[in-house]
Structure 1
Amino acid sequence: MLSYDDKRDFYRMMVNSEVTVTIIDDEADSTLLATCRDLSATGLAIEMSHPMELNTLVKVNIDSANNSVQSLNVTGKVVRVTEETDDSYLIGINISEID
């Protein structure tokens, strides 16, 4: 029997990299640090110390560790929030645009 992960359209790459998350807000954009856990062509999962509201629009920047590889900047929407521990949340983001 196929698991849920086997039915994905795009391969999910495991990552353990610090990212900058900017919450897109009409009044004031706020920026925070998080850890990217995995990444695919259509989404990513980040780990952070507090939850985010579903449907929050965000920009995520993943800096490259190698000068020959460009950093990744994406815009997306929070589609899933899972509490991992008391101070750790896994946030699923659906990518809508890649800069």
Structure 2
Amino acid sequence: MKYQNVYQAGYVIGTFDPKTGTNEHGQFKELDRGFDFNAPQTTLDQQGRSLLFTWMSVPDQNEQDHPTILHQWLHNMTIPRGVKLVGGKVW
């Protein structure tokens, strides 16, 4: 089931040294295995929680044929998903 999307979205856990521009990190892990999960972005809310938003829809899917084109829109953002790092894994 892993890595079935054309564009995987995921994360690595590690350290970054801004003085040298180097980083050390572990293996890449997928954030989501859904087929419509693209370009995830995070932000902090007023309580300091990490929220993840992503695009529902990915490029290269015959966009000109989507039924929403008639209504002059295509793709949209997901609802926010709370995420946190627990035991070396994003939940």
| Structure number having the greater strand percentage | 1
Structure-1-length-normalised TM-score: 0.27
Structure-2-length-normalised TM-score: 0.28
The structure that has the greater radius of gyration is: 2
| Structure number having the greater helix percentage | 2
